[in-house]
């Protein structure tokens, strides 16, 4: 080996060392960058928990004195601050009545079945339908099986079901 070869080797070796140092710095920087996503992990978990909680909330919200009442019934009652727990007809329908009436379970008049509801409405009249919904009739349980419903809420859900069958009740 000549002296020239040696210095050429040293130059190349030096360059390789510099390159390796730069490379390791880049890798270090990348690692720091990737690590900074760690903070998001917690935010994401938080968001997921929030979403799960929202999904677990019951469909029919309870409205108490002071809360803004649902528009429909607030209007029907003349004020939004009724002492009673107030739910709209469609709220009550979705949380209670739908279980049977959406599919016509046990021969219940199916929601949206215009013929069935039209003949019930004509034969019995609105007041009797409401009465039967409150007291129960044959396989139809009183208040749809939910004793917490007020007369007003049952009435509103009957109005809602009649509306679904194209019958508008002016009460």
Binding segment (CB under 6 A) for ligand HEC, from list 11-19, 52-60, 73-81, 133-141: 133-141
Query: Would you count residue 54 as binding ligand HEC (CB under 6 A)?
Result: no
What is the rounded CA–CA span in Å between residue 2 and residue 7? 9
112-147 burial by CB neighbour count: b if 16+ within 10 A, else e?
ebeebbeebbeeeebeebbbbbbeeeeebeebbeee
Q: Is residue 129 at the binding interface for ligand HEC, with CB under 6 A as the rule?
A: yes
Question: Least distance in Å: CB of 67 to ligand HEC?
Answer: 22
Inter-residue contact 160 to 152 (CB < 8 Å):
no
132 binds ligand HEC (CB under 6 A): yes
Does 97 participate in binding ligand HEC (rule CB under 6 A)? yes
Dist CA 25 CA 79 (whole Å)? 70
Q: Does 86 bind ligand HEC (CB under 6 A)?
A: no
Which residues of the shown chain bind ligand HEC in the complex (CB under 6 A)?
92, 96-97, 99-101, 105-109, 120, 124, 129, 132-133, 137-141, 143-145, 154, 157-158
């Amino acid at each position: 080996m000549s002296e020239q070869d040696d210095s050429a080797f040293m130059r190349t070796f030096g360059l390789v060392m510099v390159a390796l140092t730069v490379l390791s710095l880049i890798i270090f920087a990348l690692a720091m960058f990737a690590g900074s996503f760690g903070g998001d992990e917690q935010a994401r978990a938080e968001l997921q928990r929030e979403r799960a909680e929202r999904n677990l909330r019951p469909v029919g919200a309870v409205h108490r004195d002071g809360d803004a009442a649902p528009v429909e019934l607030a209007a029907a009652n003349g004020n939004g601050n009724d002492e009673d727990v107030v739910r709209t007809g469609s709220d009550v329908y979705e949380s209670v009545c739908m279980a049977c009436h959406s599919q016509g379970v046990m021969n219940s008049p199916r929601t949206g079945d215009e013929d069935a509801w039209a003949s019930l409405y004509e034969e019995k009249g609105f007041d009797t339908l409401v009465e039967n919904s409150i007291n129960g009739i044959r396989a139809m349980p009183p208040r749809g099986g939910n004793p917490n419903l007020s007369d007003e809420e049952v009435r509103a859900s009957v109005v809602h079901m009649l509306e679904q069958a194209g019958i508008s009740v002016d009460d």
